[in-house]
Amino acid sequence: MTEDMDHLDALRATVGAAQVLTGADALPWETDWRERYRGRALAVVRPGTADEVAAVVRLCAQAGLPVIPQGGNTGLCGGATPDDSGRAVILSLQRLNRIRSIDTDNDTMEVEAGCILQSVQQAAREAGRLFPLSLAAEGSCTIGGNLATNAGGTQVLRYGNMRELALGLEVVTAQGDLWHGLRGLRKDNTGYDLRDLYIGSEGTLGIITAATLKLHPLPVARCTALLALDSIESAIAMLGRARAGLGASLTGFELMAGDCLQDVVRCFPQQRLPFEGPSADMPWYALLELSDSESEAHARERFEVVVGEAIEAGIVLDAVIAESMAQSHALWHLRESIPLAEKESGKSIKHDVSIPVSRMAEFVLGTNAALQAAFPGIRHVIFGHLGDGNLHYNVARGADWAEGQLLARQDAVYELVHDRVHAVGGSISAEHGVGQLKRDVLPRYKDPVEMALMHRIKAALDPQGIMNPGKVLAG
Ligand code: FAD
């Protein structure tokens, strides 16, 4: 107890008393976004500079205190939540929120880790550039969290995930040293790529305090189309046609099961599907986005050709091509509301999986059937970034299931789904990471040599094991 008080006093002396939160004040940081994980921390510490982050980590290293980096706390794997020992320090990066500089000649920007993704997109836009990372949590998630989870989202098809969007990093190591790696270079072959090691490491190797990000030309116009489809095979055929017909202009291809959109309009009555009759009740929908360097009219014309041909070929049953930016936003809003409707509808079991597109139909149809056989009545909530082979293959309790019946079957459901993902050459985590959620099942699906190398990297960079312990790797 006295020891805890000493640690708290030392933390207060480092960042200021107002930036060290304990007790009830710390609660929002101790629970994850899905309210699935709850822990108890010694304190939430909110440094304001990279040097303060380094000083806090040095202090924790000396005292042997675990450090849990946290950005916007929107992660979906319990990666930013402490255990319940009350020993960990949650290190919130939220106050490191400056856009340090934008270099339009080099097409780069330097931003601090606590910058909210939306404010980075906005700053890039104001400089006449595009920072393309886009996901439904963009109003709350931070660049540091995006890097630590190697976030994906809706534009990966064209621009890649966060790894492809970062050129340099500034990192506080597990020893509390500050690595100044903010290089804005597209080419740099000077040894091991430490940047790529920290990206996607979920705070288990060090703390990202800033990054140099890659910018892209701002498209002149964007156009969105919502397509009604009768099967997942049709969605895959449409993806092939859209890629061939639109090339690099195709910036998004999202797949949504009809049930997901029905849930959205039920939970949020102000939203509606832009179809009437049978088209409003199809098993699948695809949302396509085209970015064009000429004009909205040109974008629309290009869409009309590709979608028109697909309708003639019987691949697409009905389509709405947005006539205005407002309509495009409304269509995207439907897609982005799916996770929110899912949360409103109660607990679900989530699988963020990656599948080779060529085996997607086999995976979905086979897994749907196997789940129904094992757990009759279970509901499938399937959506995702089909263009990247990334599905959010989620399941919810059946209409007549009691509360708690789903979670009682959770481990068996995970195993069934993940085994099938593995069998078709997929990955059990496409973009959300491992965190606590998938830590214990990781060795079942990963090559043993790969697992051993990961443990050795962790031991080399964080020999005391203080950086986000219990996440990604067990023990
Ligand atoms: P946090 O949740 O705070 O942390 C996530 C992990 O990163 C933790 O392990 C934490 O310890 C670590 N971390 C955080 N900051 C740092 C740092 N500065 N240095 C080192 N480690 C750090 N994700 C996608 O990829 N694609 C999607 O489409 C997507 N959609 C989402 C939709 C909704 C509605 C929600 C709630 C989440 C969604 N996510 C998605 C998941 C989440 O938004 C991302 O994982 C995001 O990148 C997390 O950022 P954050 O700042 O909230 O990180």
Count: domains in the chain: 4
b (16+ CB within 10 A) / e for 307-333: beebeeeebbbbbbbbeeeebbebbbe
Examine the domain organization and report whether 60 and 109 are in the same domain: no
141 lines ligand 1 (CB under 6 A): yes
Which of 181, 201, 217 is the last residue before a domain boundary? 217
Question: Which residue minimizes the CA distance to atom 36 of ligand 1?
Answer: 74
Question: Which residue minimizes the CA distance to atom 25 of ligand 1?
Answer: 151
Judge whether 312 lies within some domain.
yes
Kindly report the backbone phi and psi dihedral angles of residue 434, in degrees, each rounded to the nearest multiple of 5, phi listed first: -110, -50
User: Does residue 349 register a pLDDT over 80?
Assistant: yes
Judge whether 414 lies within some domain.
yes
**Inter-axis angle of helices 2-15 and 50-63, to 10 degrees?**
160
Q: Which atom of ligand 1 is nearest to the CA of 171?
A: 19
Cα–ligand 1 centroid distance for 124 (angstroms): 21
Cα–ligand 1 centroid distance for 221 (angstroms): 29
336 lines ligand 1 (CB under 6 A): no
Which of 340, 372, 390 is the last residue before a domain boundary? 340
Residue 440 is predicted with a pLDDT of: 96
468 lines ligand 1 (CB under 6 A): yes
As a whole-number percent, the residues of the chain with pLDDT over 90 amount to 91
Examine the domain organization and report whether 106 and 179 are in the same domain: yes
Mean of the per-residue pLDDT values of the chain: 95
> What CATH number should be reported for the domain holding residue 86?
3.30.43.10
User: Does residue 319 register a pLDDT over 80?
Assistant: yes
Cα–ligand 1 centroid distance for 113 (angstroms): 12
How much is the CA Rg of the chain, to the nearest whole Å?
23
> What CATH number should be reported for the domain holding residue 263?
3.30.70.2190
Compute the C-alpha angle 20/51/3, nearest 5°.
40
Cα–ligand 1 centroid distance for 73 (angstroms): 6
pTM for the whole thing?
A: 0.93
Q: What's the whole-number mean pLDDT along residues 112-119?
A: 98
Q: How far is CA 420 from the centre of its chain?
A: 22
Question: Which residue minimizes the CA distance to atom 42 of ligand 1?
Answer: 75
416 lines ligand 1 (CB under 6 A): no
Examine the domain organization and report whether 210 and 226 are in the same domain: no
Residue 113 is predicted with a pLDDT of: 98
Q: What's the whole-number mean pLDDT along residues 321-341?
A: 92
User: Whose CA is closest to 105, among 75, 138, 128, 77?
Assistant: 128
What's the pLDDT band for 3 if we cut at 50, 70, 90? confident
User: Does residue 67 register a pLDDT over 80?
Assistant: yes
CA distances from 347 to 336, 372, 413 (A): 18, 19, 14
47 lines ligand 1 (CB under 6 A): no
Question: Which residue minimizes the CA distance to atom 45 of ligand 1?
Answer: 75
Cα–ligand 1 centroid distance for 300 (angstroms): 34
Examine the domain organization and report whether 329 and 251 are in the same domain: yes
**Inter-axis angle of helices 360-374 and 410-423, to 10 degrees?**
150
Helix, strand or coil, per DSSP, at residue 413: helix
What's the pLDDT band for 1 if we cut at 50, 70, 90? low
Examine the domain organization and report whether 79 and 110 are in the same domain: no
Examine the domain organization and report whether 305 and 323 are in the same domain: yes
Examine the domain organization and report whether 207 and 262 are in the same domain: no
Examine the domain organization and report whether 299 and 285 are in the same domain: yes
ipTM value for the complex:
0.99
> What CATH number should be reported for the domain holding residue 396?
3.30.70.2740
User: What H or E segment, with its residue span, contains residue 12?
Assistant: helix 2-15
Residue 370 is predicted with a pLDDT of: 97
Examine the domain organization and report whether 69 and 114 are in the same domain: no
d(Cα 161, Cα 151) in Å, to the nearest integer?
6
Sheet containing strand 99-103, strands side by side: 99-103, 108-112, 206-214, 166-173, 178-181
Q: What's the whole-number mean pLDDT along residues 378-407?
A: 90
| Residue with token string 């997109």 | 121
What's the pLDDT band for 154 if we cut at 50, 70, 90? confident
Q: Which DSSP string do the residues of 307-328 spell out, in sequence order?
A: HHHHHHTTS-SEEEE-SSHHHH
Structural domain of residue 124, as residue ranges? 99-217
Examine the domain organization and report whether 232 and 206 are in the same domain: no
Cα–ligand 1 centroid distance for 118 (angstroms): 13
Which of 32, 58, 92 is the last residue before a domain boundary? 92
Judge whether 474 lies within some domain.
no
Judge whether 453 lies within some domain.
no
Judge whether 439 lies within some domain.
no
Q: 207: phi > 0 → left, psi -120 to 50 → alpha, else beta; which?
A: beta
User: Does residue 183 register a pLDDT over 80?
Assistant: yes
d(Cα 300, Cα 292) in Å, to the nearest integer?
9
Examine the domain organization and report whether 248 and 329 are in the same domain: yes
384 lines ligand 1 (CB under 6 A): no
Judge whether 303 lies within some domain.
yes
Question: Is residue 328 a contact partner of residue 299, using CB atoms and an 8 Å limit?
Answer: no
Examine the domain organization and report whether 243 and 336 are in the same domain: yes
75 lines ligand 1 (CB under 6 A): yes
Question: Which residue minimizes the CA distance to atom 21 of ligand 1?
Answer: 203
Judge whether 470 lies within some domain.
no
> What CATH number should be reported for the domain holding residue 145?
3.30.465.10
Judge whether 390 lies within some domain.
yes
Residue 345 is predicted with a pLDDT of: 80
